[in-house]
Amino acid sequence: YVVQGRLDKFGKEFLLTASIADARTGEGIARVREPAPEEIDFPWAADRVGDQLADAVGLKESRIFDVTLEGSDDPVAHLNLKLGNTIAALKGFNIDTFTLRFDLEVDYYLRRYLLVYLEAGLAVGRASEEGEPKGTFSLVPVTFGLKYVLFHQREIRPYTGLGLGLGLIADLVEPEERELSLHFHGLMGVAYVPWRNLGFNLEASMNFNEMRVSGGSSLLFAFNLNFGVITIF
């Protein structure tokens, strides 16, 4: 096979074009084009061009795992289902160290390395007051924020982000005493995406402020650690 390529620049955006032909007959087999909005996108664009040319001639894609899932070339959004542990501190009550937390997150790709996300969760735990069991409680946080992804063209992708949201605690105080509170937190994590449409992530986040529970108590979820499954669209 004979492979030819060129790189063009239009304003701040680049366009990578490549073609492949049969070396014996000279017949063209495929011609592909891949945009790179910025220089940082070159590795990703080159990888996609190589994949498309390899597909055109029937070459097997080289990956760590021998399974690939079909999907779009450009990621638009992904779902992230997370399960983890929250270390919490509640003024006026004692909380068991292990507090189970579930989160469902939707991320939208503004750029391949910049995501806006909306997350809704449920944290469940047990509390006591002056040594006496107080019962279970649940917290429903909803968070909106931004994430920045490093090495987004690779399988291992570290990321960091900031979020702002609301939270409401239930089952621990009387309904008329419950308060909706604002929270602000930062997060760091790493995603492992061995397949085009499926990956995993490990994430840690920390709250920067207390969450009001009622007029006389407040809740501080100091540290969250969770593991998730990512489905990319």
Segment 38-47 mean pLDDT: 79
pLDDT at 97 over 60: no
Distance in angstroms (rounded) separating the CA atoms of residues 156 and 182: 33
The whole-model pTM stands at: 0.64
For 143-172, the pLDDT digits (tens) are 999 999 988 878 899 999 999 988 766 655
DSSP type of residue 173: S
The rounded mean pLDDT for the chain is 78
CB atoms within 10 A of CB 19: 17
**214 — pLDDT class (breaks 50, 70, 90):** very low
Structure tokens at 88: 């919490």
Lowest mean pLDDT across 68-72, 117-121, 145-149, 181-185: 68-72
Closest CA to 231 of 187, 195, 190: 195
Q: What is the pLDDT of residue 61?
A: 56
User: CA–CA separation, 129 vs 138, rounded Å?
Assistant: 16
